């Protein structure tokens, strides 16, 4: 027999690991589309922050999580379009413009929060869904079947993304534009249109990622709510070698480590809090070192703006 205390702790870790993975998955899958089409969007974190704030604020006003999500998606689309304008139309250096978008999002979300809300208040988030029979299962129920809508949506997104990228004409165009935009151009594919599409999609998904924190997981907003998750998502795309399922595994790895360190802290298992908090970030570095060996399969045109006739 397993010690009941240990078992309940294990269930908590797995359940919250799955729940925490939500924001990573939305952000990282969105980023995957951008990167496969050849654009590195480092602004994910900034988009997540503004969207998280927008969702939070709308729910605070209307008490409707659905409307909050819609607001987050709209913010994501607008900021995704802005990112596309910078990196595709203006051909800005992607590493730098992404950091710009991040700083903009960090500052704007904090400013708006201070002006409109001032103090930390919780809002009504997406409720956990009760699935008859499944949710009531012992052990499996709490781990897999007591989550909110966005958690399930995130995991459903992964096979969908794989399908779009590998089985559709659009996906073929996305991959071609990231590998050899000149070739795509000579076949009458608009490189700019494809990249605008992937970045806008990525923006929308980053928006949902932000909302999944502020109106589903935590139901609050505060300065720098996302605390680096958007950047970790970028790293996870490398880690997952631009393949949705591997990216998802990376997300789960991170969220599980996060859940583990939280559970250990809550249960007063004696490890220094600083070390526990550092774990996800150390993991990022390790992941990137690991990913460095996979550069052979990297989209060849990643970070390179496209210009005809050079």
Partner 1 sequence: MNIQHVQLRNITKRFPGVLANDRVNFDVRAGEIHALLGENGAGKTTLMKILYGLYQADEGEILINDAPVRIKSPSDAMRQGIGMVHQHFQLVPPFTVTENIALGLRSAREPMLDLDAVGKRLRELASRYGLHVDPHALVWQLAVGQQQRVEILKALYRDAALLILDEPTAVLTPQEVKELFVTLRRLTETGHALIFISHKLHEVMQISDRVTVLRDGRVVGTVATKHTNTKELARMMVGRDVVTSWDKPPVKTDDQILRIEKLSALDDKGLPAVKNLSLDVRAGEIVGIAGVSGNGQRELAETLVGLRRAESGVVSVAGRDLTNHDPADIIAAGVAFIPEERMTMGVIRDFTVQENLILETHAQPPLARKALFDFDKIAAHASQLVREYDVRTPTLDTPVKSLSGGNIQKLILARELSRAPRLLIAAQPTRGVDIGATEYIHKRLIEQRAQGTAILLISEDLDEVLALADRIAVMYEGEIVGVVPPNTPVDQLGLMMAGAKRVSS
Of these, 167, 278, 285, 289, which contacts partner 1 (CB under 8 A)? Answer: 167
Instruction: Name which of 119 and 169 has its Cβ closer to partner 1.
Output: 169
**Min. distance of Cβ 57 from partner 1 in angstroms?**
36
| Burial (CB count within 10 angstroms: exposed 0-12, middle 13-18, buried 19+), residue 28 | buried
Of these, 96, 273, 285, 300, which contacts partner 1 (CB under 8 A)? Answer: 300
161 binds partner 1 (CB under 8 A): no
Alpha-carbon distance of 25 to 243, in angstroms, equals 12
Alpha-carbon distance of 242 to 175, in angstroms, equals 10
**Min. distance of Cβ 190 from partner 1 in angstroms?**
9
How many alpha carbons fall within 13 Å on the CB side of residue 63?
0
**Min. distance of Cβ 186 from partner 1 in angstroms?**
5
Segment interacting with partner 1 (CB under 8 A) among 13-21, 161-169, 198-206, 276-284: 161-169
Alpha-carbon distance of 274 to 285, in angstroms, equals 17
Instruction: Name which of 23 and 200 has its Cβ closer to partner 1.
Output: 200
Interaction residues for partner 1, span 169-208 (CB under 8 A): 169-173, 175-176, 179-180, 182-189
159 binds partner 1 (CB under 8 A): no
CA-to-CA dists, residue 179 to 37, 66, 165, 185, 303, angstroms: 8, 38, 14, 12, 11
Instruction: Name which of 172 and 264 has its Cβ closer to partner 1.
Output: 172
**Cβ(56)–Cβ(67) below 8 Å:** no
Instruction: Name which of 180 and 222 has its Cβ closer to partner 1.
Output: 180
Size of the site for partner 1 (CB under 8 A): 23
Instruction: Name which of 293 and 308 has its Cβ closer to partner 1.
Output: 308
Interaction residues for partner 1, span 279-298 (CB under 8 A): 297
Alpha-carbon distance of 289 to 192, in angstroms, equals 32
Dihedral of alpha carbons 124, 261, 243, 93, sign: positive
CA-to-CA dists, residue 135 to 9, 139, 140, 150, 217, angstroms: 18, 10, 8, 16, 18
Segment interacting with partner 1 (CB under 8 A) among 3-11, 46-54, 138-146, 168-176: 168-176
Q: Which residues bind partner 1 (CB under 8 A)?
A: 167-173, 175-176, 179-180, 182-189, 297, 300, 308-309
């Amino acid at each position: 027999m397993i010690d009941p205390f240990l078992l309940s702790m294990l269930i908590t870790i797995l359940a919250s690991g799955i729940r925490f993975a939500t924001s990573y998955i939305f952000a990282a899958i969105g980023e995957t589309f951008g990167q496969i089409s050849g654009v590195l969007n480092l602004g994910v974190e900034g988009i997540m922050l503004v969207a998280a704030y927008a969702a939070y604020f709308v729910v605070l006003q209307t008490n409707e999580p659905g409307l909050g999500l819609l607001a987050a998606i709209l913010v994501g689309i607008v900021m995704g379009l802005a990112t596309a304008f910078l990196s595709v139309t203006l051909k800005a250096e992607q590493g730098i413009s992404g950091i710009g978008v991040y700083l903009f999002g960090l500052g704007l979300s904090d400013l708006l929060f201070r002006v409109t809300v001032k103090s930390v208040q919780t809002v009504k988030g997406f409720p956990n869904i009760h699935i008859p029979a499944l949710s009531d299962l012992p052990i499996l129920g709490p781990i897999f079947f007591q989550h909110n809508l966005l958690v399930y949506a995130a995991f459903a997104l992964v096979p969908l993304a794989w399908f779009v990228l590998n089985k559709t004409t659009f996906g073929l165009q996305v991959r071609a534009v990231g590998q050899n935009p000149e070739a795509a151009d000579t076949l009458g594919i608009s490189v700019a249109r494809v990249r605008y599409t992937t970045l806008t999609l990525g923006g929308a998904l980053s928006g949902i990622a932000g909302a999944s924190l502020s109106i589903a997981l935590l139901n609050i907003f505060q300065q720098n709510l996302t605390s680096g998750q958007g950047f970790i998502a970028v790293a996870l795309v490398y880690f997952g070698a631009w393949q949705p399922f591997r990216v998802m595994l990376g997300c789960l790895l991170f969220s599980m480590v996060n859940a583990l360190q939280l559970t250990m802290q809550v249960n007063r298992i004696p490890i220094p809090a600083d070390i526990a908090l550092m774990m996800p970030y150390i993991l990022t570095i390790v992941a990137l070192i690991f990913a460095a060996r996979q550069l052979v399969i990297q989209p060849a045109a990643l970070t390179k703006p496209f210009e005809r006739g050079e």
